[in-house]
């Protein structure tokens, strides 16, 4: 155990346990620990470091802004928040759409929860096994009882449906359609093991929401900002949600979240109905603008291509049953429940991995990962799987 990991437990609350190692610097998709060992990062801070480590556009933008104006609160306007908002909304095909900036994905979903309340209806329908965050409203919509249990009672009104089962969802809605405020879903359930929604499910949910005047809320916290080979994962189907939540890759490593409102949700927020002191912080907003300026159509196409390359290579490895997901958000389904062992052995082989459950490895590398790094990472993963077999 390193000096830094030893000190961790004497300073930090015990919410994460003791980390296995301490990282000190990085470049691109590679990081180094305090002893100088390098690792190819296939996690990217849990799908956060979209431009990897030390990207010049991000470094330059943040350095210049923090020297100029760090924080002003939302009692005043500032250019960075307006620019970032314009860049975000450029990816939404509705000129009436508006964005609320916050600091994280759970806060973005907390805002969505409150929007549902502002409809005057009480029911929110969320998917079993979904994950939307750990603050109370977002946690209430998280379909994982083990995460909710210690903090019950949850805010009332949330009911759960089987992810991907439109017939079940329709039956649930029709029990009380006039009191159903919102349906929330992830296009790909990340924390459960990278499980994509079945083809056509998002379009069917959109039609069901339109039929009954229900908010369609799509959680793009992990899937957004080109992660899946589209800017938003819902763009793989011909739908446009009423509420879109995002965070993670948006700031390229700086804390920022966003809740986009349009359609039935436009106009629900009014002055004083919601807010956050740090939301729209100029430094985080210039980081987001740097990320969005970098992620153009060619960049997104490259993510899709690299995702296919990575998935095809990994699917050929020993002990791999299949690979699911899209773009650079992949779930490697193993033949045995050894994912956590693979994570530990990965560190020995210079590879950062993640196991959302016992039989799945989640791969969410920086979007700037190179084909050469993909080839090296695949070879290291092969060694990992052979060593734990």
Q: Enumerate the active-site residues.
A: 131, 219, 248
How many C-beta neighbours within 10 Å does residue 289 have? 25
Secondary structure of residue 176 in the 3-state scheme: coil
In this structure, the strands spanning 188-189 and 195-196 are: antiparallel
> According to the annotation, is 32 in a ligand binding site?
no
Copy the structure tokens of residue 389: 């077999």
E strand or H helix at 380, and its extent? helix 371-388
**Are 209 and 215 contacting, i.e. CB atoms less than 8 angstroms apart?**
yes
> According to the annotation, is 378 in a ligand binding site?
no
> Alpha-carbon distance 164 to 162, whole Å?
6
> According to the annotation, is 106 in a ligand binding site?
yes
> According to the annotation, is 272 in a ligand binding site?
no
In this structure, the strands spanning 38-41 and 351-352 are: parallel
> According to the annotation, is 219 in a ligand binding site?
yes
Output the DSSP codes for 323-337.
Answer: EEEETTEEEEEESSS
**Are 94 and 240 contacting, i.e. CB atoms less than 8 angstroms apart?**
yes
> According to the annotation, is 189 in a ligand binding site?
no
> Alpha-carbon distance 237 to 240, whole Å?
9
> According to the annotation, is 34 in a ligand binding site?
no
**Are 257 and 103 contacting, i.e. CB atoms less than 8 angstroms apart?**
yes
> According to the annotation, is 222 in a ligand binding site?
yes
Copy the structure tokens of residue 186: 């992830």
Q: Phi, psi at residue 32, to the nearest 5°? A: -125, 145
> Alpha-carbon distance 145 to 153, whole Å?
12
Copy the structure tokens of residue 224: 């957004």
> Alpha-carbon distance 115 to 107, whole Å?
12
> According to the annotation, is 123 in a ligand binding site?
no
**Are 18 and 30 contacting, i.e. CB atoms less than 8 angstroms apart?**
no
Residues paired with 38 in a beta bridge: 32
Residues paired with 132 in a beta bridge: none
Output the DSSP codes for 53-70.
Answer: BS-HHHHHHHHHHHHH--
Secondary structure of residue 195 in the 3-state scheme: strand
Residues 6+ apart with CB under 8 A from 114: 137, 273, 274
**Are 132 and 149 contacting, i.e. CB atoms less than 8 angstroms apart?**
no
> According to the annotation, is 134 in a ligand binding site?
yes
Annotated binding site for N(2)-acetyl-L-ornithine: 134, 276
Annotated binding site: 105-106, 131, 134, 219-222, 276-277
Annotated binding site for pyridoxal 5'-phosphate: 105-106, 131, 219-222, 277
């Amino acid at each position: 155990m390193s000096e830094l990991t030893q000190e961790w437990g004497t300073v930090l609350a015990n919410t994460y346990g003791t980390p296995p190692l301490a990282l000190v610097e990085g470049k691109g998709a590679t990081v180094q620990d305090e002893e100088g060992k390098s690792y190819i990062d296939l996690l990217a801070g849990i799908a956060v470091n979209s431009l990897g480590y030390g990207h010049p556009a991000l470094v330059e933008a943040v350095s210049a802004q923090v020297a100029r104006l760090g924080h002003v609160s939302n009692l005043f306007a500032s250019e960075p928040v307006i620019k970032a908002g314009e860049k975000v909304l450029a990816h939404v095909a509705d000129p009436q759409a508006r964005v609320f900036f916050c600091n994280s994905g759970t806060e973005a979903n907390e805002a969505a929860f409150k929007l549902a309340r502002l409809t005057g209806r009480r029911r929110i329908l969320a998917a079993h096994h979904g994950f939307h965050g750990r603050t109370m409203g977002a946690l209430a919509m998280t379909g994982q009882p083990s995460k909710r249990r210690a903090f019950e009672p949850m805010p009332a009104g949330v009911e759960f449906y089987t992810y991907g089962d439109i017939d079940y969802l329709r039956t649930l809605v029709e029990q009380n359609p006039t009191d159903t405020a919102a349906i929330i879903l992830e296009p790909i359930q990340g924390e459960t093991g990278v499980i994509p929604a079945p083809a056509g499910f998002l379009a069917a949910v959109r039609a069901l929401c339109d039929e009954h005047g229900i908010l369609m809320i799509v959680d793009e916290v992990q899937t957004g900002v080109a992660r899946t080979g589209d800017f938003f994962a819902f763009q793989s189907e011909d739908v446009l949600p009423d509420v879109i939540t995002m965070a993670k890759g948006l700031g390229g490593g700086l804390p920022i979240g966003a809740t986009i409102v349009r359609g039935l949700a436009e106009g629900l927020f009014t002055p004083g109905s919601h807010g956050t002191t740090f939301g729209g912080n100029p430094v985080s907003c210039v980081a987001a603008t740097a990320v969005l300026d970098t992620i153009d159509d060619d960049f997104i196409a490259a993510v899709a291509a690299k995702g296919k390359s990575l998935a095809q290579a990994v699917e050929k490895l020993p002990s791999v049953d299949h690979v699911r997901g899209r773009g650079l958000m992949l779930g490697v389904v193993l033949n045995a429940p050894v994912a956590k062992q693979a994570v530990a052995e990965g560190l020995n082989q210079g590879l950062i991995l993640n196991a959302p459950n016992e039989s799945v490895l989640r791969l969410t590398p920086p979007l700037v990962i190179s084909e050469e790094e993909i080839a090296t990472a695949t070879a290291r993963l092969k060694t990992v799987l052979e060593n734990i077999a």
